[in-house]
Amino acid sequence: MYFDVVVAGGSVAGLLCAREIASNGFSVLVIEEDYEIGTPEHCGGLVSLAGLEELGVIPFRKTFEHMIESAKITAPDGNNFTINSKKQRVVEISRRELDKQIAFQAQRNGAVIKVKTSFQEITDTGIRTNEEKIDCKIFVDARGVSSLIHKDRTGILSSAQYEIYADWIKKGNVEVIFDQEKYPGFFAWIIPSNEGKGKVGVAGRGINVAETIDKILEEKGNYSTIRKIFAPIWIKGPIKKFVEGKTVIIGDAAGQAKPTTAGGIFTSGMGGVYAGQAISKFLKTNNSKDLEEYQKNWTDRFGSEFEKQSLARKILERIDNNTINKLFESITPEIINEISEKDDFDFHTGSIIKLLGIKNSIKTAQTLIGGELKKLLG
């Protein structure tokens, strides 16, 4: 069996890559090891409408859940503030349905998709799956965080997300909870899918995520669990090389999820789009330099933002609960209003700078970050 390109991983990045390649008239096969496209759904499901539009996706009714109206940010001592997110046009979508929608786009363009088919190894002429040998010119690795686990475990955090029914979940209202003792290096979150239904998740370094999330739910009140997902997340930013010979690495496998939140529908999705465009060009010219355009285009678009997010992550990992509480006390209504009115969901380092109080010269923040301050503001 022969295809110009084989893509391992039927998620957003892999499917968008296949869509682009197929739209240029080349044969492409997507193999997905799970029994269904869109499963397991371990993503929070938040993405901006602007991001979806750039990815070439207008959400179907089944895909689109609802608009996010606000985000409540809570400190370890319970102090909190709420950002009005209406102007950022953030939506909560069903990842299962989004993946299926993009799979439909890819298939209509000519891509072939096979589920319950896993990548085994690269061969001299292509790849081997659990079922057969397939010859191809390009292999695309879109297998997600699992591809990174053996490369650098320091970038991996344990994570859990439960889908639940609970009357304390309010449609349109996201909640983020910081506590460096309970969720070291990350945070807990509540993302509504509808009134009384949503996703509660947690990630952190060196914690038992199941026990941690159970405690969060016990404190919140009555609930019923309908799904549990355990999956690692990557928070160390992009890998050094997206292209290795005739292997092209995209999405979470390339570290294209945000270092601050591990969210990556837009940034990983654009990795798939840029890769698909570069691969299509390479297949026409057979010039390896055309493949390199993929990494250049992605880095030109997101590199600076990801560097700043990585610096912000280093700062946040060094801050203890006492400092977080002090920073929350210093956040003014003017700062909250500026974030609500002007900031960008997809490029959010500016929001972090404001919340850290850096521009207001808070001594605690300045002491903590030292020489990294200039890099973050640069």
Q: Is the peptide bond before 40 cis (omega within 30 degrees of 0)?
A: yes
Tokens of 160: 């859990």
Centre a 10 Å sphere on the Cβ of residue 218 and count the other Cβ atoms it contains: 9
SS3 181: coil
Residue 213 has pLDDT above 50, yes or no: yes
CA atoms within 13 A on the CB side of 84: 11
More confident call, 135 vs 310 = 135
The domain defined by 2-62+93-151+236-302 carries CATH number 3.50.50.60 = yes
Kindly report whether the peptide bond that precedes residue 184 is cis, defined as omega within 30 degrees of 0.
no
pLDDT value at 64 more than 90:
no
Mean pLDDT of 109-124: 96
Using DSSP bridges, classify how beta strands 64-67 and 2-8 pair: parallel, antiparallel or unpaired. unpaired
Over the stretch 325-360, which tens digit does the pLDDT of each residue have? 888 888 888 888 887 777 667 766 666 666 665 444
Pick from 33-42, 114-123, 213-222, 236-245: least confident: 33-42
- Looking at residue 222, its pLDDT comes to 95
pLDDT the model gives residue 334:
84
pLDDT attached to residue 309: 86
pLDDT tens-digit profile of 134-165? 999 999 999 988 888 777 777 889 999 999 99
Predicted local confidence at residue 312, as pLDDT: 82
Rounded CA-CA distance 186/55 in Å is 28
258, 18 Cβ separation under 8 angstroms = no
Residues 186 and 213 sit within 8 Å (Cβ to Cβ): no
**Average pLDDT score over residue span 287-297:** 96
Residue 71 pLDDT > 80, yes or no?
A: yes
Instruction: For residues 247-274, give the mean pLDDT.
Output: 94
Q: What is the pLDDT of residues 153-197, one digit of tens each?
A: 778 899 999 999 999 999 999 999 999 999 998 999 999 988 899
Q: Quick one: what percent of the chain has pLDDT higher than 90?
A: 61
pLDDT of residue 159: 93
pLDDT of amino acid 53: 93
Lowest-pLDDT choice from 3-12, 74-83, 313-322: 313-322
Q: Check residue 349 and give its pLDDT.
A: 64
The residue with tokens 């102007």 is 87
CATH class of 156-234: alpha beta
> Distance between CA 183 and CA 208 in Å, rounded?
10
Residue 101 pLDDT grade (very low, low, confident, very high; cuts 50, 70, 90): very high
What pLDDT does 360 receive?
47
Residues listed for the chain: 378
The pLDDT of residue 230 is above 60 = yes
Distance CA 155, CA 215 (A): 25
Mean pLDDT of 217-223: 93
Return d(Cα 66, Cα 264) in angstroms, integer: 19
Domain layout of the chain by residue ranges: 2-62+93-151+236-302, 156-234, 308-377
**Average of pLDDT values for 316-321?**
84
* Range from 12-26, 29-43, 105-119 carrying the lowest mean pLDDT: 29-43
Separation of alpha carbons 334 and 336, rounded Å: 5
3-state DSSP: the chain helix, strand, coil percent, rounded to 5? Answer: 40, 25, 35
Return the pLDDT at 343: 67
Instruction: Please report the pLDDT score of residue 354 as a whole number.
Output: 63
Average pLDDT over residues 60-83: 87
- Give the chain's mean pLDDT: 88
Mean pLDDT calculated for residue range 68-90:
89
Q: What is the rounded CA–CA span in Å between residue 246 and residue 9?
A: 17
